[in-house]
Structure 1
Amino acid sequence: MNRTKNIRLTLCVVLLGISFGFAQKKSTGDVLFFQYEYQKAVAAYEKQISEGSLTEQQYLNLADAYFETDNFDKASEAYLEIYKKDTLMDSHHYNKMLQSLSKSADKEQKQAYLTTMSTSFPKELMENMEFNNQLLANESAENELDYQIFNLEGNSAQTDFSPSFYNNKLLFTSARSANKKLQFEPGGEGFFNIYESEIQANGQVSTVKEFGILSATDYHKATPSYSEALNSVFYVLSNTTDDDELAFDDNGKNALSIAKQSVNGSYQGLLKDLSTSFYYPFYDDSNGKLYFAADFEDGYGGTDIYFVYTNNGQMMSAPINLGPRINSSGNEIAPFIFENSLYFASDVFYGLGGMDIYKANVEGEGFGIPINLGEQINTEFDDFGLIIRNEGDGLLGYFASNRPGGKGKDDIYGFKVDEKPGLRTITFKGKVLKPYNPSEVVEKAAVRLWNMDGEMIAETYSDEDGNYRIEVPAADELVLEGTKERFSRYIERFDQEQLDSIQQNGLNVEMAQYDDLVEEREGQKVVKTDDFYFTTSSVQLTPEITTQLDEVVAFVKAFPEVQLRIETYTDSRGGSSTNFKLTQGRSDAIKKYLVEQGVPSSSILYSIGYGEEKILNNCTNGVYCLEMLHKQNQRSLIVVLNDNVLFD
């Protein structure tokens, strides 16, 4: 579809804005480009090329104009030429370049260039891409929901989009207004206005009329969002002066602001900046957050989604970006939260078409991986602005699309479905830490998920704070593994009940570091324990001794391939033969306990009593020593025999 005939609030270039005049003299192509006359801008820029040359910025404008007029072959050529010079291109233009490559004859180039550009993108974007590519490649009819999608009878021949529930009515934006005081040449339509209609039992609408409670203006009113808790409507409108004339910034740009209007009549302006446009407000009644899209310069791409904290709709914070898990190098718009899931639209390069609708689970202050809702809801065209609510035994929802077969440039579609749109997923998240010191985390540990067929289905690494996160399609059973060189291996199998619990509580992965648990003593590596002592002439294990031996049990469980030798010594007091028998009995008692606690007997190669054979000090036979010096010779060691080859 020719984008010059498709003007609406879905693009980050402020298509609803109007520019009159420029800060400095520009070429004809520039003027047409900044007035969104993309087809005419292409002709002007191409003429300028034939007469001389374009600046790099103008050549980038030409690439954008090709892109906006669906000439993806020429757009990809132009973007690639600029990319080779490594100037001007930002992440948003990378997104357009990749979109152009995927829609042109050179699709194979997309992966090649994506590989070289991947370091320029946040890791979350690459994880999102890989996850969605797998989902879309493996999508099957048996996993699809049975959507009943229908075009609304209330659509017009103009642009209709941005539905919102208003009790049992539907609010939406339309260009059907009879007030054609000023038309946009690219779209040939008047200013947008907000309308209301009655929702019928079958989801259709009737009795479309102008939504009359909003403050009057001759200019844009669009993208309404009703808050039942505040009994108010949030919406965007053109920036105007006190006498209701369009207000422009120093560069001649008219942007969009966000306002709140009480159904009872009170009006309040919330977000306004003459140089920044705000789109698609959504107020979350559950927590008082006001979500919206905006084109701030410090975003991740084009238009990003933000929120502000409010007190009953009164702003209480600066805008907070939802971060790289949600926002991409493309444009993100139209946030909507339903039952702990965030729905929004994005034109990120790995989607099905232009704008696609995604769903991300809300996880505390963060979000899960955004999941493409797949074919039916999404097409190769623009699909955006989804809303949904419970209705009877199922759900009723609406969204906008410019797919073929509609009545106008954008139409609103309704749908009924039995379950929430979007694939159900399982998320493992938490920290990798040391079990004996939970405050000490393990970074760069590999965390992998395996299915019950022994296939690895996901892999990630813990970050510098020990955090890890993996999200996969839902399954009945999964195995989680954690590994790192010279660390114990974590492996655990989870059934459905345990998986459900993990979604609520998260899961910390405990991995012991080998070097924390061993030490050098008497020229050999031994399991690190506190010194423990048998009662005089006794081979019985005391609670103090078993407490230390439990450390050995935990060590063997953490490193099951170790091979051990138990060594026990006594001091020089008593007969030599008696001491040998005593220490052998003590070594055998230690072995017996370890085996009873689960240490394989095959892991204990030797159990030896050395008697008074290896005295560590001068307290030999006949030498008077203090008790503390004799105790230095009364010791038991658990030697690791294969320390030097354990990690080869």
Structure 2
Amino acid sequence: MFSNTPWKQVFNIKFWDRLKNHTLFFASIFIKRNLISLWAFILLSSSQLFSQDQDKLITKADQSFTAFAYIDARAIYIDVAQRGYSSQNLYAKLGDSFYFTGDLEDSVIWYEKLIQNYPEDLNPEYLFRYAQSLKSVERYKEADNIMDQFYAITGNDKRARSFIEKRNYLDFIEMQSGKYDIFPLSINSKNSEYAPSFNNKNQIVFASSRSKNTNDSKLHKWNKMPFLDIFSSNIKEDQITLEDPVKLKGKINTKFHESSTSFSKDGQTVYFSRNNYTNNKLGTSKKGVVLLKLYKATLKDGTWTDIEELSFSSDEYSVSHPSLSADGTKLYFASDMPGSMGQSDLFVVDVLGDGKYGEPKNLGGNINTEGRETFPYISSSGRLYFSSDGHVGLGGLDIFVSVPNESGFSNAFNIGKPVNSSKDDFTFVLNEDTKIGYFASNRKGGKGNDDIYSFKQTEELITSCMQYIEGTITDSATGEPLLRTDIIVLDKNKNTIHQAVSDLKGKYKIKVPCNESYTIRAELNEYMPKEVSLETTGIFEFIHNIPFVLEKTGVQKLLSTRVEITIGDDLGKILQLEPIYFGLDDYEISPNAEVELQKIISAMNKYPELKIEVRSHTDSRSSHWYNKRLSVKRMRATIKYIVREGNVNWRRIPGKAYGERRLMNKCADGVDCTEEEHQENRRSEFIIIKMK
């Protein structure tokens, strides 16, 4: 059975005869924003709980439900509750009646009564709904406390885990906010406008329940509002505001609901959502419910015709809210079909041509939760924008973005205020070339139930965990800032991944991914290079302040103009290198040694006249012959690294292997020494043998 209700809430209400002096209301509610079925059972005993007047009120409520006047019925039940009747079931269903119609602000009072008065044996889903409702009135601290309770009970629920992992979600949303300027539009009416889309003909197409004729017979009995149809508006020269809308021509609009369009690149094909109405026949599920399906239409001579139902639609579950990829090969949509993770999920299907489609694929755990994911929009660059109440947000439906990656899509990121609010925000579309787009919201200050807003994106969104490295480069002697200093970022494998140059004030700033290990190097001609190691954390947009104080050098003075350099000096000591030690019986270059050898490489590349001799040593353990061979291997490994990594001519870096002949301490054969003392002898030296 189909009810004459708007797309925002599609109700199917079956009334059953009274059984054993009880009145049973069985309601299946399908919501515009979530494609959810709410099976509401309100079981009231008239013989025990109500006076004769209250019986009359319940009878009147029965009649209102029968006539699909749902709000009238809700008002009656509120009246009954205000007269003193209370039960867990009544408070739960009253809260649900507001929650599932998008009136989260009004659901707070009933969920509050439910949880305060009936905390035992409570379905944890009511904790989640209560938390969402509290957010709608910006009572975030209380909402977080309720989510803690929800997590304690559910544990594995992704919505709960996401909240625990992102407890500072408000800080992130503030960080993400301010990247859009939004504008109200004159096309909005006192009813409902939403689901804007680009038709690639300089027009915006959207759904509206506006009525040209106040005597229109297509009015909903419960709220006297028209059915939704699809309209278009020309985009004005400013690319933001719209002209007066006109209804699309042809068979695309019917006496039932149409909404959520997506157009082919040439604008000749449209995919759209509609109630289950094909070939002038209304279809229902086995339970008698009219669900949502996807259809396709073709534009011929300015009229939409050849309406086709998509093959993966079904009488038994809803499929709606299409978004076609830029190349036309994939169609994204929302559904509660089998295989869904939550109340509604996002899916993708291959468009094969000739009216054929592949198997729908669930977009997976980075996108879908146990809650509501809906209204997908796939941008020209492949970014996925969608609305959700399962991911952590400001309240109601928030808009999120996910970027494509090798496994599908990244984790979802809230796009922040002012696009998102504590109310429902949804149907986001964006022209990535102009950075202009549109979305809908039921926030306060609008003209109707849902309004469309335009926006201009002013900054790029945060779509991955990144941190900043910044600082000032100064001269050690004068304190003056050093401009045009090269800042090089090396990863843990010593590969250069970022480079920057300090500005006129000696400042630099570099953006790097979170949770990684880096070496930051500062280099400037006539100054000694300097390096700092850094471990980034998982905190979004964290700033690491790393200043560099560089000491000046010259051909005759590698470290300071006050230190004379002579033949025979150890370059490692001049550069204040950490000792390059080797493990016992080992000649491999360790990661720590690599950092120090990079400094040798830098000096030799800056001063091509410099020539050094690598001298390799061992400790006294093992035989003299063995230690001699081991020191040869260490010498060759050191020279090989400098030649290979620094592109240094091998003739500039000869070597000698001393074995155990030049010990640094007392630890000769037969002397009892600690491991640390032995390690002092396992070393490499870099002796200057030529400077000019």
**2:299 aligned partner:** 263
Q: 1:284 aligns with which of 302, 309, 325?
A: 325
Amino acid of the residue matched to residue 309 of structure 1?
D
Q: Deviations over 1:566-616 (max 9, x none)?
A: 854xxxxxxxxxxx54334334435545666789x9999999899xxxxxx
Q: 2:629 aligns with which of 586, 592, 611?
A: 586
**1:355 aligned partner:** 397
Q: Structure 1 residues 586 and 20, CA, compared in 2 at 3 Å: closer, same or farther? A: closer
**1:370 aligned partner:** 412
**1:412 aligned partner:** 452
Alpha-carbon contact 1:584-1:607 (below 8 Å) kept: no
Q: 2:273 aligns with which of 214, 233, 236?
A: 236
**1:225 aligned partner:** 262
Q: Secondary structure at the match of 1:387?
A: strand
Give unpaired runs (5+ residues) of structure 1: 1-5, 10-14, 428-448, 454-474, 483-490, 496-547, 569-579, 611-637, 643-648
Distance 1:311 1:281 in 2: 16
1:161-176 mapped onto 2 (5 Å cutoff): 161-166=194-199, 167-176=201-210
Distance 1:42 1:553 in 2: 84
Q: CA deviation at 1:261?
A: 0.6
Q: Structure 1 residues 607 and 43, CA, compared in 2 at 3 Å: closer, same or farther? A: farther
Distance 2:378 2:584 in 1: 50
Q: Are 1:254 and 2:294 counterparts?
A: no
Q: Deviations over 1:288-347 (max 9, x none)?
A: 111111233653332221111121384433322222222233322211122232111223
Q: 1:65 aligns with which of 97, 109, 116?
A: 97
Q: Secondary structure at the match of 2:14?
A: coil
Q: Deviations over 1:238-270 (max 9, x none)?
A: 11365x243222323111110011113332211
Q: Secondary structure at the match of 2:194?
A: strand
Q: Are 1:492 and 2:507 counterparts?
A: no
Amino acid of the residue matched to residue 299 of structure 1?
S
1:498-647 mapped onto 2 (5 Å cutoff): 552-554=586-588, 556-557=590-591, 568=622, 581-590=624-633, 592-593=635-636
Amino acid of the residue matched to residue 403 of structure 1?
R
Q: 1:383 aligns with which of 405, 425, 448?
A: 425
Alpha-carbon contact 2:260-2:321 (below 8 Å) kept: yes
1:119-198 mapped onto 2 (5 Å cutoff): 119-122=155-158, 125-126=162-163, 129-130=166-167, 132-138=169-175, 144-145=178-179, 147-166=180-199, 167-178=201-212, 180-198=216-234
Distance 1:20 1:584 in 2: 91
Which TM-score applies when normalising by structure 1?
0.62
Q: Deviations over 1:398-420 (max 9, x none)?
A: 11122233222212112234455
Q: Structure 1 residues 52 and 565, CA, compared in 2 at 3 Å: closer, same or farther? A: farther
Q: Secondary structure at the match of 1:133?
A: helix
**1:513 aligned partner:** none
Amino acid of the residue matched to residue 176 of structure 1?
R
**2:499 aligned partner:** none
Distance 1:298 1:138 in 2: 35
Q: Secondary structure at the match of 1:191?
A: coil
Q: Structure 1 residues 395 and 640, CA, compared in 2 at 3 Å: closer, same or farther? A: same
Q: CA deviation at 1:137?
A: 4.3
Which TM-score applies when normalising by structure 2?
0.58
Higher alpha-carbon deviation: 330-339 or 34-43: 34-43
Q: Structure 1 residues 322 and 38, CA, compared in 2 at 3 Å: closer, same or farther? A: farther
Alpha-carbon contact 1:28-1:44 (below 8 Å) kept: no
Q: Are 1:274 and 2:315 counterparts?
A: yes
Q: Structure 1 residues 53 and 156, CA, compared in 2 at 3 Å: closer, same or farther? A: closer
Alpha-carbon contact 1:224-1:234 (below 8 Å) kept: yes
**1:318 aligned partner:** 359
Amino acid of the residue matched to residue 121 of structure 2?
K
Q: Are 1:340 and 2:366 counterparts?
A: no
Higher alpha-carbon deviation: 205-214 or 254-263: 205-214
Q: CA deviation at 1:284?
A: 0.8
Q: CA deviation at 1:172?
A: 0.8
Q: Structure 1 residues 94 and 288, CA, compared in 2 at 3 Å: closer, same or farther? A: farther
Distance 2:663 2:453 in 1: 67
Q: Structure 1 residues 604 and 350, CA, compared in 2 at 3 Å: closer, same or farther? A: farther
Q: CA deviation at 1:161?
A: 0.9
Alpha-carbon contact 1:481-1:492 (below 8 Å) kept: no
Q: Are 1:19 and 2:12 counterparts?
A: yes
Q: Deviations over 1:115-152 (max 9, x none)?
A: 41562223873487457433124467xxx33x443222
Alpha-carbon contact 2:394-2:422 (below 8 Å) kept: yes
Distance 1:216 1:493 in 2: 62
**1:571 aligned partner:** none
Give unpaired runs (5+ residues) of structure 2: 30-39, 41-67, 472-508, 522-581, 595-617, 643-659, 680-692
**Equivalent residue pairs, number:** 477
Alpha-carbon contact 1:331-1:346 (below 8 Å) kept: yes
What's the RMSD between the two structures over aligned residues? 4.6
Alpha-carbon contact 2:151-2:157 (below 8 Å) kept: no
Distance 1:161 1:605 in 2: 81
Distance 2:72 2:11 in 1: 17
Alpha-carbon contact 2:284-2:315 (below 8 Å) kept: yes
Q: CA deviation at 1:211?
A: 0.3
Distance 2:374 2:254 in 1: 24
**1:520 aligned partner:** none
Percent of residue pairs bearing the same amino acid type: 21
Q: CA deviation at 1:195?
A: 0.9
Q: Structure 1 residues 161 and 230, CA, compared in 2 at 3 Å: closer, same or farther? A: closer
